[in-house]
Amino acid sequence: MQQPSQSEIEKSVAGNKNRDKLFAVLGLLATFIGMLTLAALLADLAIDGLARIKPHFFTSFPSRFPAQAGILSAWVGTSLVMIVTALTAIPIGVGAGIYLEEYAPKNWFSAMIEINIANLAGVPSIVYGLMALGLFVYQFRFGQSILSAGLTLALLILPIVIVATREAIRAVPGSMREAAYALGATKWQTTSDHVLPYSMGGILTGVIIGLSRAIGETAPLITIGALTFIAFLPDSPIKGEFPFVSFDWIWSPYSVMPIQMFNWVSRPQAEFHLNAAATGLVLMVMTLAMNAIAIYFRYRFRKRIRW
């Protein structure tokens, strides 16, 4: 077989370099378009709703008068629902990812689990709402409560957390595990002291992506009975008498900010639309704040590993 000449090799290398440059330019262009779209969205929300963002907007309940309406019950409900979601989805999702990647035997059963997890990540959110309505609301009798909402959103983002955890763990070089085993470390010591610290950045990225999706969901929460108008707050988790902590709030009715936005947008008055824009701006800031926290912790983990 005739070997390619030197000129042909140089032409092939030059062509590959040109394709790499073209791909880099297309990737940069796609990133720029995405950032420009996000900036335009934020600017539009800020123009319409920034004037509404005042202290009383966060401390007032919804009202039939636009100037007096606020998002107190909505942002409190969103915060409590996200606490239940995070406390449920993060340990279960990360634990499942660790088990499937490090401990589960590679057979047909684990392969079937992997296929189902990948499929569940693409299921529409309304399906989770219908399932939660039959399971949590009626079967387990949790009712239309914060607990039902948090568990519903936890199921929604669980496949995302599991897949992200597995991919982050899979990116850790196998030589690191072999070195730990050579020094006499057990399987758990290798996983907890070496694999998890190096993969924590990717795990946090997956967790924050899942939580960012959950905080904006509306359909499953409406399905299980979230209120569109609520003028009271859940019970306080902190009490004045022993044991000073109460979990009665998880059984309280709730509303969340996306539902409050939907309620205001559906009204004909333009003033309510401005309130909805202000709520969307607050929701966007909360999502960006969660991403900033994840980036900070990821930086801390990487810095600790480096040194």
257-289 tens-digit pLDDT = 888 888 888 888 888 888 888 888 888 888 888
Three-class SS of the chain: CCCCCHHHHHHHHHHHHHHHHHHHHHHHHHHHHHHHHHHHHHHHHHHHHHHHCCHHHHHCCCCCCHHHCCCHHHHHHHHHHHHHHHHHHHHHHHHHHHHHHHHCCCCHHHHHHHHHHHHHCCCCHHHHHHHHHHHHHHHCCCCCCHHHHHHHHHHHHHHHHHHHHHHHHHCCCHHHHHHHHHCCCCHHHHHHHHHHHHHHHHHHHHHHHHHHHHHCCCHHHHHCCCCCCCCCCCCCCECCCCCCECCHHHHCCCCCHHHHHHHHHCCCCHHHHHHHHHHHHHHHHHHHHHHHHHHHHHHHHHHHHHC
> Which regions in the chain score pLDDT beneath 50?
307
Q: Residue 6: what pLDDT?
A: 67
Q: In the numeric block, which tokens belong to residue 80?
A: 């409590």
d(CA 234, CA 300): 35
Q: Residue 151: what pLDDT?
A: 93
pTM (two decimals): 0.84
Q: Residue 85: what pLDDT?
A: 93
What single letter denotes the amino acid at residue 113? Answer: I
d(CA 304, CA 307): 5
Q: Residue 236: what pLDDT?
A: 75
183-201 tens-digit pLDDT = 888 888 888 888 888 888 8
Q: Residue 1: what pLDDT?
A: 54
Q: Residue 199: what pLDDT?
A: 86
